[in-house]
Amino acid sequence: MRVRIERMETLRDLSDYTAGFRDEKRILGYCISCPRYGNYWSCPPYDYDPSEIIATIVYPEDVSASVSVYDLFSEAREITDPEILGMEAEMPGSMAFYAGSCRICPGKCKRESGAACVEPDRARPSLESFGYDISRTLSDIFGVKIKWADKNCPPEYISLVSALMFR
């Protein structure tokens, strides 16, 4: 185990969280410049309306974890992704959101070649891909400031925000 995880959790009313932290037009504007946009089934644009999915859910629980070194991001996701998916399995009607885009397939997502998702039972979107502001979620709810890497220096820590929305 190379990562050191600092775990923070909160329970929020989904309506309040959506009203205060979802800015779909602005956040998805950032997604458009990402190479994963339109090339990952777990990334926008979706063939469904995220607002309709959110409307079927009532209360969210956010789980975040900070790791100490940027290049340990994958290792941290190997811990947090199954964890949040396991919580979803224990709570019928809930929906898990990963801390970033899907990492299940090695290399590229099958969407890029026009093929269907090979792991629809495990692939999940991220909160940001549904238009939630992760920077403000971290600062306003958890009091955590996002640290950015520069070319030569990894950040002091990385923050991952995954979530479980449930009835």
Query: What residues line the site for ligand SF4 (CB under 6 A)?
Result: 40-42, 102, 104-105, 109-111, 117-119, 123
Under DSSP, the state recorded for 126 is B
User: Closest distance between ligand SF4 and the C-beta of residue 98, in Å?
Assistant: 10
Nearest distance in Å: CB 116, ligand SF4: 8
Instruction: Name the residue nearer to ligand SF4 (CB basis): 107 or 143.
Output: 107
CB atoms within 10 A of CB 115: 10
Distance of alpha carbon 55 from alpha carbon 39, whole angstroms: 26
* Cβ proximity to ligand SF4, 109 vs 165, nearer residue: 109
CB 167, min distance to ligand SF4, A = 25
Contact 36, 98 (CB under 8 A): no
Residue 62: partners with Cβ closer than 8 Å, 6 or more residues away: 9, 10, 12, 137, 141, 161, 162, 163, 164
Residue 55 or 118 having the CB closest to ligand SF4? 118
Q: Return the number of the residue (89 or 118) whose C-beta is nearest ligand SF4.
A: 118
In angstroms, what is the minimal distance from the CB of 107 to ligand SF4?
9
Angle at 106 between CA 125 and CA 82, to 5 degrees: 50
